Amino acid sequence: MIREQGGSLSLGGVMVADIALIGLAVMGQNLILNMNDHGFVVCAYNRTVDKVKSFLENEAKGTKVIGAYSLKEMINTLKSPRRVMLLVKGKFLLLSQLKIYNSGSAVDAFIEQLVPLLSPGDIIIDGGNSEYQDTERRTKDLEQKGILFVGSGVSGGEDGARYGPSLMPGGNPKAWPHIKPIFQAICAKVNGEPCCDWVGETGAGHFVKMVHNGIEYGDMQIICEAYHLMRSGLQLTQEEMSTVFDEWNRSELDSFLIEITRDILKYKDEKGYLLERIRDTAGQKGTGKWTAIAALDYGVPVTLIGESVFSRCLSALKNERVEASAVLSGPDPIYKGDKKQFLEHLRKALYAAKIISYAQGFMLLREAAKVHNWNLNYGGIALMWRGGCIIRSVFLGNIKSAYDKNPKLSNLLLDDFFAKAMDKCHQSARTVVSTAVTIGIPTPALSTALAFYDGFRTGRLPANLLQAQRDYFGAHTYELLGQEGKFVHTNWTGHGGKVSASTYDA
């Protein structure tokens, strides 16, 4: 039986829904309520059907949200073309066929059940954090069955889902006109512009969301390193650190993550400051790791995100770290210089690292677009991230301006605005990194950002020696300056052969 909350009924007593959403966890429930607020009728369904009843009787009470207790009932509520959005994860048992779908395959399980119930031209939207390769596969497979598939990034957490997330849809472009009115109504807005637009075909939407999450890892790590330097190096109190972040949030660093860091630092409960009682082991859901893997696959030096992932891995070695702290020696971690002056260097270093992180992220987007023939709008992507999402910041407006000015910009660091910003900040980054090394406080992300900057601005790197080494021991060949494209091999020892191995790129 289909249950409804308020609203009018039609088609023989069944409310006609604009869209159905499967998955009533926090994100799903809040997206449904967001859609309802914008005048759309949503049919809610969950594999554990008791959640449907509970949702209708509590969070959705008094709304136009309707509920269904089977997929067939849900499909029967929908206008044509039918639009079904999935927000599902975890293991899934399809009893009718005795199939067990492992983590990440719940989407496939629901697709398998939905397809027989749908008609050509109907739309399935995956709003979870799926791997972009899966989205590519699903888009192509479903197109052959006449179903339009969309893989959409959804960012902003619980609050974003409820009041305006950043949405990054990609997949079958024929679906976009049918989901655009809903998506652009419910998403965040910046200066009246929606933080949602069509990203590109097949896996483009989920790839952009993956890079977004990777940049999120980087942003969080460099902020944590700044906090570590303030706490252990400058010996600042939590109230003092909160004040610093509040000041930074009124500078070029104005962003959601700086803002919540300020609030976290000053948060107290009945036992005092909460932050110092939280165990220093960080978790992850995999999207940062996916970004690092994709960077290796495409040969793009996304070093800051990679270090951020490894930093979380290192934090997980809590017992080993505690043991090592009692055995391994290091310098005095307390900074002896001018604290106010160092804080300004730290602010600039953080800004420089943030620029590097985004530059690397957009490098990865550009390379993937080239490989997959995606026509990505880089300025539009920056706009999508300006509101609703975790990495939203004023800074993204400068990225949009850079790509508006030059849509073919090969690297953000070559834009006048960012080149001048790095010119003003890189010396502070050197001061911070060298100081951190001297006093023994780890700053892997800040350090790798500076190393990338120096490597990128260096016209001649020592890779010529590396190529010679590879040719010496493996006959992998090399190119001579002025003879690019011609690969040669040298018999370095005089007793080697003339046969060379196949060439390959980085």
168 and 276, same domain (yes or no): no
**1 found inside a domain:** no
Residues 390 and 499 in one domain: no
Please write the tens of the pLDDT for every residue from 145-189: 999 999 999 998 899 999 999 999 999 999 999 999 999 999 999
Examine the domain organization and report whether 229 and 120 are in the same domain.
no
Q: Do 73 and 141 fall within a single domain?
A: yes
Asked if residues 432 and 345 have their Cβ atoms less than 8 Å apart, the reply is yes
CATH of the domain at 232: 1.10.1040.10
Look at residue 506 in the predicted model and tell me its pLDDT: 52
Annotated binding site for substrate: 129, 155-157, 212-213, 217, 285, 312, 470, 476
204 within a domain of the structure (yes/no): no
pLDDT < 70 stretches in the chain: 1-15, 90-104, 284-285, 501-506
Please give the residue range of the domain that contains residue 469: 462-505
List of residues 6+ apart from 72 with CB closer than 8 A: 117
Of 165, 198, 231, which marks where a domain is finished?
Answer: 198
Q: What pLDDT does 225 receive?
A: 98
Looking at residue 9, its pLDDT comes to 42
The reply to whether 216 belongs to the active site is: yes
| Of 51, 64, 89, 209, catalytic | 209
Catalytic: which of 4, 136, 201, 216? Answer: 216
Please check whether residues 366 and 306 belong to one and the same domain.
yes
CATH of the domain at 478: 1.20.5.320
Indicate the number of domains in the chain: 3
Q: Are residues 154 and 218 in the same domain?
A: no
160 and 221 part of one domain: no
Q: Are residues 129 and 218 in the same domain?
A: no
Which 3 state secondary structure label does DSSP give 131? coil
- For residues 221 and 316, membership in a common domain is answered with yes
297 and 338 fall within a common domain: yes
The string of pLDDT tens digits covering residues 295-338 is: 999 999 999 999 999 999 999 999 999 999 999 999 999 999 99
472 and 437 both lie in a single domain: no
Q: Which two tokens stand for residue 363?
A: 């490098």
> Which residues on neighbouring strands pair with residue 220, listed in sequence order?
none
Active site residue 99: no
Whether residue 290 lies inside any domain: the answer is yes
Binding positions are: 129, 155-157, 212-213, 217, 285, 312, 470, 476
**CATH number, domain containing residue 62:** 3.40.50.720
Residue 38 domain-assigned?
yes
CB 151 within 8 A of CB 130: yes
- Predicted confidence at residue 14, as pLDDT, reads 55
pLDDT of residue 12: 55
- The answer to whether residue 181 sits within a structural domain is yes
Residue 393 lies in a domain: yes
pLDDT at 99: 44
What is the side-by-side strand order in the sheet with 19-22? 3-4, 66-67, 42-45, 19-22, 83-86, 123-126, 148-155, 166-171, 200-201
